Amino acid sequence: MQPFPVPPDEIPVGGDWQRGAGPTSACVDPADGEVIATVHAADPAQVDAAARAGAGAAVDPAWRDLLPHQRAHMLDRVADAIEHHAEQLALLQTRNTGKTLGETRALVASAAGTFRYYSAALETLEGELPPSRGAHLTMSVHEPIGVVGAITPWNSPIASDAQKIAPALAAGNAVLLKPAEATPLVSLALARLAHDAGVPPALLSVLPGPGAVVGDAIARHPLVGKLAFTGGTTTGRVLGRIAAERIIPVTMELGGKSPTIVCEDADVDEAVAGILYGIFSSTGQSCVAGSRIFLPRKRYEELAQRLVAGATALRVGPGTDPATRIGPLATFAHRDKVAAMVDRAREEGARIRCGGTIPDEARLARGAFYPPTLLDGLAPDAKTCQEEIFGPVGVLLPYDDEDDLVTQANATVYGLACGIWTADYRRALRLARRIEAGTVWINTYKQFSISTPFSGVKDSGLGADKGRAAIRGYQRQKSLYLNLATEPIAWAGA
């Protein structure tokens, strides 16, 4: 494989592409187990160098004094570069994460769209003149924080990286990005493209390596003034504690166990197609995966059978095969974790409606594959119904009426997303307001727009990504008072 477009033994540290001084880690294609690259992790001294260089670059007049439309132009050039290399980036991400090419092409397009959106948002973002209560003009201005630490997971790297880098740069900051240890290749490629497109290199460092070492060093670095995290709730708590000690802002996009709800009057074809997409696309490795599937008791068996038939028909295979719907899990370790969670579901008394065992087909033998799996027969408070599996595993749950449904759907520590399938828009809106979630889809699922804020409630997150306001999340607000009075302040009596 071509190590496009960056030699994997180099990482960008504070403007200098150099060998990571930390341990090496192998990037493995989970479709066949082949080692595609060996990446050298950063070490804490390189985190320090990147933070210092980033802080210097953020206040360099060549960057600091750029007008918004000039910074916007630079973001546009990054978008152009991503689009120009879209196919290579998609293939690189498919090889490193196992996702299908259809999925990685969409993620690459989303990353380019994110840079373009923040370019447009930056050009049109306006300040405020709050009404004055005296003889002065009051202005509220927004300034960069300086250095932002961005920490991202392995499931959709280029898109989740772009969602942090683009608004942070738009806001005028330097970024230290720590991609997941297993999937850093596309993040490194993105940095190379961004530098080539004109982003001052010290403004974007990519520091791969173990979260507990490199991520921790970023979070604790005194020059890092904001943390932007996407990942699991356990890590979110660790980073939230560090942010609290340091009194710096943190945004957290965390895990989920999202309900997807079929009402009695739903269009069954639409609901089945949307539910299968919602839980099984990306092989279930999606924070918003609709993993708790609520079916009305009166139509339970009919709907369950439709879902089982649909799931069983999904083709499992490598992400490079256009016929594949279910690629491998991103790593072998994660596949084994998913398999163990299904085994635990069996111990809890689950009935396996389809899937549930590692495939024994010869063509899948070398990859980290797991089939689409549907379970039922569990109480709503069973561990399998409460804990995020982050794999192609959905739990079917019956409900009796709307109150029972809302009680069950909200009985989770998470609150990320929800899907509602119904022909009655009144019911849809009523339910949408009663469900505790950051995003609710009605008669659709897993649709995103960079212009629409994305956030979780409860243990699913804090603060929002996306939308124009995200730029403000990477800035500090300052109030300016400009005196308009012609007399001195009378207080001293002079």
Residues assigned a catalytic role:
253
In this structure, what DSSP letter does residue 215 have? I
253 near ligand NDP, rule: CB under 6 A: yes
CA-nearest of 473, 471, 472, 467 to 454 is 467
Between 212 and 484, whose beta carbon lies closer to ligand NDP?
212
The CB density around residue 322, as the number of other CB atoms within 10 Å, is 9
Structure tokens at 50: 């990147």
Region binding ligand NDP by CB under 6 A among candidate stretches 86-94, 206-214, 267-275, 473-481: 206-214
355-394 residues in contact with ligand NDP (CB under 6 A) are 388, 390
106 near ligand NDP, rule: CB under 6 A: no
- 411 to 101, 406, 415: CA distances (angstroms): 36, 8, 10
**Min separation Cβ 350 and ligand NDP, Å:** 21
215 near ligand NDP, rule: CB under 6 A: yes
Q: How many residues bind ligand NDP (CB under 6 A)?
A: 30
287 near ligand NDP, rule: CB under 6 A: yes
Region binding ligand NDP by CB under 6 A among candidate stretches 26-34, 234-242, 373-381, 423-431: 234-242
Structure tokens at 395: 């739990």
Q: What is the 3 state secondary structure string of 289-307?
A: CCCEEEEEHHHHHHHHHHH
Between 235 and 412, whose beta carbon lies closer to ligand NDP?
235
Q: Which of 116, 178, 306, 466 binds ligand NDP (CB under 6 A)?
A: 178
Q: Name 251's bridge partners.
A: 228
Helix, strand or coil, per DSSP, at residue 28: strand
Region binding ligand NDP by CB under 6 A among candidate stretches 30-38, 82-90, 215-223, 298-306: 215-223
The CB density around residue 126, as the number of other CB atoms within 10 Å, is 5
Question: What angle, 0 to 180 degrees and rounded to 10, lies between the N-to-C axes of helices 86-97 and 101-124?
Answer: 120
Region binding ligand NDP by CB under 6 A among candidate stretches 16-24, 76-84, 205-213, 295-303: 205-213
**Min separation Cβ 176 and ligand NDP, Å:** 12
411-430 residues in contact with ligand NDP (CB under 6 A) are 416
| DSSP assignment of 396-407 | EEEE-SHHHHHH
Structure tokens at 333: 């370790």
CA-nearest of 246, 241, 200 to 221 is 246
Query: What is the binding site for ligand NDP (CB under 6 A)?
Result: 151-155, 178, 180-181, 210-212, 215-216, 219, 230-232, 235, 238-239, 253-256, 287, 388, 390, 416, 456, 461
